[in-house]
Structures are given as structure tokens and as C-alpha cells.
Amino acid sequence: MHTWLVVWFVIGIVSALALVVCLVGLGRHVLILGRTLKRFQEEAQPFAEEISRGGAEAGERASNLGPTRAARRS
């Protein structure tokens, strides 16, 4: 009976160590992903602002064109 207790104790320790290693690896990947996302946002921000300005200008031009065809039919 003493042997089985030692076997289960060793299995428990090995399993706990494997879980800790996986959690440390997962945490490392989360940090890497966070840094990559921050870098992507910094690089993509100018393009997003340019697209936003273009959309606002297009909306202003469209509103200056006058009533739409659907409004004329009514």
C-alpha cells in the first residue's frame, strides 16, 4: 500500500509541474501577443485616421449634393 501512495504522489507532482510549465508558457505568449498588438496599433493608426478623414469628407460632399433620387420621388 505504501508503494501506491508514492506512485500517486509522484504522478501528482509531475502533473502539477507540467501544469505550471504550461501556464508559464501561456503567460509568455499573452505578453508577446500584447506587445505585437500594441505595435500593430501604432503602425495602423495613421492609416485608420486617413480613412476616417476620407469618410468624413465623402459624407460632407454627399450632403452638399442635394436631395437624393429617393427623396425626389416622394
> Mean pLDDT score of the chain, rounded to an integer?
89
User: What pLDDT shows up at residue 72?
Assistant: 55
**pLDDT tens-place string over residues 29-56:** 999 999 999 999 999 999 999 999 999 8
User: Which pTM value belongs to this model?
Assistant: 0.57
**pLDDT tens-place string over residues 7-34:** 999 999 999 999 999 999 999 999 999 9
Residues in the chain: 74
- Give the distance, in angstroms, between the CA of residue 27 and the centroid of all CA atoms in the same chain: 15
Q: With bands split at pLDDT 50, 70 and 90, how would you rate the model's confidence at 61?
A: confident
